[in-house]
């Protein structure tokens, strides 16, 4: 699920994501940074979020990782990710509510 926001004021995206419960991770194999919000005490299941853009326009690419990938093919990762399930939709709605709040005058 992709969510694209054009912020009506400059936003520190890293601080915003921390406030909504995400923490940064770095994939050393792919050299990619992303954000996760764990749903339990372990690493999985978790919401996984990639960001593109800047503090004026940002695209969040959201999915849920149910478990660690189990099959490795060189250059390809396979995992139990869900991209459009009801749970992902609910998390997308939660993020949208936070985005609306961040766009409001009360957000600092």
Distance CA 78, CA 81 (A): 8
Write down the domain spans for the chain. 2-103
Contact 61, 53 (CB under 8 A): no
Distance CA 33, CA 7 (A): 22
Helix, strand or coil, per DSSP, at residue 91: helix
pTM of the complete model beyond 0.85: no
Q: Could you list the pLDDT tens digit for every one of the 108 residues in the chain?
A: 999 999 988 888 999 999 999 999 988 777 789 999 999 898 899 999 999 998 789 999 999 998 876 656 666 655 567 888 999 999 999 999 999 998 887 776
């Amino acid at each position: 699920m992709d969510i694209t926001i054009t912020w009506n004021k400059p936003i520190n995206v890293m601080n915003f994501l921390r406030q909504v419960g995400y923490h940064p991770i770095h994939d050393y194999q792919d050299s990619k940074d992303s954000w996760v919000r764990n749903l339990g005490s372990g690493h999985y299941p978790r919401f996984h979020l990639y960001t593109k853009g800047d503090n004026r326009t940002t695209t969040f690419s959201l999915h849920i990782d149910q478990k660690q990938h189990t099959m490795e093919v060189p250059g390809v990762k396979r995992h139990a990710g869900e991209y459009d399930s009801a749970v992902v939709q609910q998390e997308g709605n939660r993020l949208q509510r936070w985005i609306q709040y961040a766009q409001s005058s009360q957000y600092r």
